[in-house]
Amino acid sequence: MIPANPSVSGPRTASPVKRLAGRLPAPADKSVSHRALMFSALADGTSRISNLLESADVTATARAVAALGADVRRDGPGAWTVTGRGAWTSPAGPLDLGNAGTGVRLLMGAAARFDLEAVFTGDESLSARPMARVLDPLALMGVKSRSRDGRLPVRLTGSRALRAIDYAPPVASAQVKSAILMAGLGADGETTVREAHATRGHTETMAPLYGADMSARADGAGLVARVRGGRVLTPHDLAVPGDPSSAAFAIAAALITPDSDVTLTGVMDNPARNGLYAVLRDMGADLTLTPAGTRAGETLVDISARSGMLTGIEVAADRAPSMIDEYPILSVIAAFAEGATVMKGLAELRAKESDRLAASAAMLAANGVRIELGEDYLVVHGCGAGGVPGGGRVETRHDHRLAMSGLVMGLGAREPVSVDDAAMIATSYPGFFDDMAALGADIA
Ligand code: S3P
């Protein structure tokens, strides 16, 4: 039985607090959780996953792989058993991936190499996001699909006779790379994906653990990933590492709230994911990273953050792939810094769960922060010692990261900050409210 996610819905307000303190395990990583379910469902046999993120996005993927023929069982908190049969079959009904871009895009790639037909759907936010970036390369491999002008719903007809391709995606996207590699697991030869800017490599790291012939190598600022098709995947047991993108909210809260000292343990320290932490260091943040072992082929660290005045900096465009999900919360941190923070190369933010560039700018403007917004850049004029006024209401636009960023801002601002709807937080970080309360946050 795959549990439904209880979610906190409706407006919420975060009020200024005197200090935040404590030590918490980082929530499990969303990207790794999706992939662990998919690879386990592709394998022939039984895999056990521990510390799986039980968020709405990930349980949507669990339901989808069950509908595609795997046996999926929850044994206890974070503990799941997945038995795959080495091949997927047509699901009885549409696969509803909810809000999950990673879920839908990687599953389309993974399903494409089987003899099946599947319809993919999602919520309002996911249905507005571009799918052609995945369907176009899949078409080159021989996959047939019908979509609503490149958006969901998508009807996909898989094939056991896919052609291997050599492809350079026009956008820096781990989801695009991964969808092609997933399809390449079944293609007739070697499929290659060439990235001009390296994106997160969780697919390439995890696939060999399940016996796939897949690897990646750095190529200047970019990366070349390859997979040879034809192997039947073997089961594997793994534990999911902590999520640096989710950990960023408590870390940010500690940086902007006076006298705070917060530690998040077991955070994945991956160069394709830790751009925010490098930027925070450049802004003068008091961060300590302590090695904390490895999990599922990933290095872990405990991250401690103490509050202090930060300085605005220029964040170059080539940093974007390593911190693509962190711009809303970085824009909040920048609002508290002294001086301007200039963030460039942000066009991809407009294709996320919401137009995150416009939504981040609106969030700050509604709370008295001066910003300049361009097609692909954002300048935040930090309030510094004067403090962030706050007092505004943030429109979250079905976007979990906007909701969490707005609430974090309220903890350090002069006046409380409200968000219109907290429901989407459950898509990536169902423990957000409990974790923030444990650190001393006032969110009601
Ligand atoms: C993800 C890749 C990123 C990121 C998303 C998770 C993944 O998306 O924004 O939250 O797990 O591969 P893009 O590949 O569209 O940049």
Report phi then psi at 204, rounded to 5.
-70, -30
Taking the centre of ligand 1 as the mean of its atom positions, its distance from the CA of residue 46, in whole angstroms, is 27
Q: Is 178 in the pocket of ligand 1 (CB under 6 A)?
A: yes
Given ligand 1 and candidates 34, 37, 38, 102, which is best to mutate, with the most ligand atoms within 8 Å of its CB?
A: 102
The whole-number pLDDT of residue 241 equals 98
Closest atom of ligand 1 to 178 CA is 12
Q: Is 181 in the pocket of ligand 1 (CB under 6 A)?
A: no
Q: What share of the chain is helix, strand, coil (3-state, %, to 5)?
A: 35, 30, 35
Given ligand 1 and candidates 57, 175, 401, which is best to mutate, with the most ligand atoms within 8 Å of its CB?
A: 175
Given ligand 1 and candidates 173, 176, 319, which is best to mutate, with the most ligand atoms within 8 Å of its CB?
A: 173
Q: Is 428 in the pocket of ligand 1 (CB under 6 A)?
A: no
The whole-number pLDDT of residue 2 equals 73
Give the pLDDT confidence of 207-264 residue by residue, as tens digits. 999 999 999 999 999 999 999 999 999 999 999 999 999 999 999 999 999 999 999 9
Cβ density class 239-251: b for 16+ within 10 Å, e for less? bbbbbbbbbbbbb
Q: Is 175 in the pocket of ligand 1 (CB under 6 A)?
A: yes
Give the pLDDT confidence of 27-71 residue by residue, as tens digits. 999 999 999 999 999 999 999 999 999 999 999 999 999 999 999
Closest atom of ligand 1 to 203 CA is 12
Q: Is 31 in the pocket of ligand 1 (CB under 6 A)?
A: yes
The whole-number pLDDT of residue 6 equals 59
Question: Which fold is adopted by the domain 30-239?
Answer: UDP-n-acetylglucosamine1-carboxyvinyl-transferase; Chain (3.65.10)
Token reading at 282: 């450049």
144-148, strands of its sheet edge to edge: 95-96, 117-121, 151-157, 144-148
Domain ranges of the chain: 12-28+241-443, 30-239
Q: Are 286 and 308 in contact (CB under 8 A)?
A: yes
Closest atom of ligand 1 to 173 CA is 14
Same CATH topology for 12-28+241-443 and 30-239: the answer is yes
Taking the centre of ligand 1 as the mean of its atom positions, its distance from the CA of residue 303, in whole angstroms, is 23
Low-confidence ranges of the chain (pLDDT < 50): none
Rounded to a whole number of angstroms, the CA Rg of the chain reads 21
Q: Is 320 in the pocket of ligand 1 (CB under 6 A)?
A: no
Q: Is 173 in the pocket of ligand 1 (CB under 6 A)?
A: yes
Query: Left (φ > 0), alpha (ψ -120 to 50) or beta: where does 298 sit?
Result: beta
What CATH number should be reported for the domain whose range is 12-28+241-443? 3.65.10.10
Query: Which residue has a Cα nearest atom 4 of ligand 1?
Result: 325
CB-based contacts of 267, cutoff 8 Å, min separation 6: 26, 241, 242, 243, 244, 247, 292, 300, 301, 302, 303
Q: Is 259 a catalytic residue?
A: no
Q: Which is the catalytic residue, given 325, 399, 421, 435?
A: 325
Taking the centre of ligand 1 as the mean of its atom positions, its distance from the CA of residue 173, in whole angstroms, is 6
Give helix then strand counts, H and E, for the chain. Answer: 13, 24
